[in-house]
Amino acid sequence: MQSANMHKTLEPWYRQGWPWFLIAVPAASVVAGMVTLWLAVISWDGLVVDDYYQEGKAIEKTIARSLKAAELGLLADVRLRSDEVTLELSSAANAPLPPTVVLTISHPTRAGMDQVLVLKRRDGVFAAPLAPLSSGRWLLQVEDESHNWRMNGSANIPADSVVRIVPVKS
Residue 144 is assigned to a structural domain of this protein:
yes
* CATH number where 85 lies: 2.60.40.10
Position 47 scores a pLDDT of 61
> 99 and 36, same structural domain?
no
Together in a domain, 149 and 110: yes
Residue 159 lies in a domain: yes
- Domain assignment of residue 25, given as a range: 12-42
Burial of residue 56 (CB within 10 Å: 0-12, 13-18, 19+) is exposed
* Helix, strand, coil fractions of the chain, as percent rounded to 5: 35, 35, 35
* Counted domains in the chain: 2
89 and 152 inside one domain:
yes
pLDDT lower than 70: segments of the chain? 1-7, 45-50, 170
**Same domain? 78 vs 128:** yes
Q: Does residue 82 sit in the same domain as residue 139?
A: yes
Residue 147 located in a structural domain:
yes
For residues 149 and 77, membership in a common domain is answered with yes
User: Is 153 inside a domain boundary?
Assistant: yes
Is 16 part of any domain? Answer: yes
- The pLDDT of residue 9: 77
